[in-house]
Amino acid sequence: MTGEKIDSSVDLTGEKIHWSQDVSYGQYLELDSILSAQTLRSDKHDEMMFIIIHQASELWMKLSIHEMTAAMECLKEDNLDLAMKMVARIARIQEQLTQSWNVLSTMTPKDYLSFRDALGQSSGFQSYQYRMIEFSLGNKNKGMIEAHKDHPNIYAQVKNVLENPSIYDLTLQLLARRGFDLPAECLERDWSEPYQAHPDVEAAWKKVYENGEEYWDLYDWAEKLVDLEHRFQTWRFAHMKTVERIIGFRRGTGGTGGVSYLVKALDLRFFPELWTVRTSL
């Protein structure tokens, strides 16, 4: 019948399934590109798992950056409710990232060493998305961007995050706008330098914590940040223990000290006064 639209759906067990689509599931997700991105450099079985876990982690980090960027814009606009939703989502993403190490830990030292040479000098240390997340959280280190100097576009992205306020810097500016007396050196400074804890900032947080009903949104935001850092450090710890389990204390492929380097990172604090204030309450 000319001009009539043919119904290509089929009723299966009571469900009307449409087999002809303008955009299919695979097209929408660009699965052809994603599923063809696993290029093995050896003939060893476990290399596939190694690649997929790290690729999936980078996708989760991309989402973390997306949420973090939006949350920081919300902070500038004093929209704490929306910022909290985004930060809570990042904390759940961290759970997924932590779980990925459990999968990787099923690989034995022998499995890894069978294809390790194929990695060359590539290393997770070179992950620019990881570095952007760290910088956004406040772990600023100018020297770290040099790992990306041979890639101008990536270098510019990482440098931009380095030179702008972290989520904690923006939080302190919010506290100041709310009337808390904070030192000028904590509110306007060289954002590329690591934040230094200050007793006046701890005093401000103590007031928030001791008057939770009056400052409920600030109190809730502070706890969201603590949860975020806690889960980030859990991710780091799981990473360190997985590396130790697989390669012991061998040096990393990118030239770092491997486990010894990862252990040092566990001592870093992103939001120092939110931890020290607990002792003084």
Tell me if residue 55 falls in helix, strand or coil. helix
| DSSP state letter for 250 | P
Nearest to 277 by CA among 192, 189, 204: 204
Q: Cα angle at 44 between 42 and 50, to 5 degrees?
A: 90
pLDDT for res 9 = 58
Instruction: Determine, yes or no, domain membership for 15.
Output: no
Q: Which parts are annotated binding residues? A: 50-54, 112, 116, 239, 253
Domain containing residue 177: 44-247+256-279
How many folded domains does the chain comprise? 1
Instruction: Determine, yes or no, domain membership for 87.
Output: yes
Q: Which parts are annotated binding residues for heme? A: 239
Angle of the 216-247 helix axis to the 272-280 helix axis, nearest 10: 110
CATH classification at residue 270: 1.20.58.480
State in Å, rounded, how far the first CA of the chain is from the last one.
80
Q: What is the pLDDT along the chain (281 residues), one digit of tens a residue?
A: 455 554 555 555 667 766 677 888 899 999 999 999 999 999 999 999 999 999 999 999 999 999 999 999 999 999 999 999 999 999 999 999 999 999 999 999 999 999 999 988 887 778 999 999 999 999 999 999 998 999 999 999 999 999 999 999 999 999 999 999 999 999 999 999 999 999 999 999 999 999 999 999 999 999 999 999 999 999 988 888 888 888 787 766 555 666 776 777 677 889 999 999 999 99
Q: Which parts are annotated binding residues for substrate? A: 50-54, 112, 116, 253
pLDDT for res 255 = 58
Q: Is the dihedral of CA 81, 237, 148, 49 positive or negative?
A: negative
- Sorted by sequence, the CB contacts under 8 Å of residue 265 that are 6+ apart come out as 236, 240
Instruction: Determine, yes or no, domain membership for 119.
Output: yes
- CA distances 14 to 11, 20, 22, Å, are 6, 18, 23
pLDDT for res 128 = 95
Instruction: Determine, yes or no, domain membership for 48.
Output: yes
DSSP string computed for 108-128: -HHHHHTTGGGGTT--GGG-H
Instruction: Determine, yes or no, domain membership for 38.
Output: no
Instruction: Determine, yes or no, domain membership for 24.
Output: no
Instruction: Determine, yes or no, domain membership for 1.
Output: no
Instruction: Determine, yes or no, domain membership for 204.
Output: yes
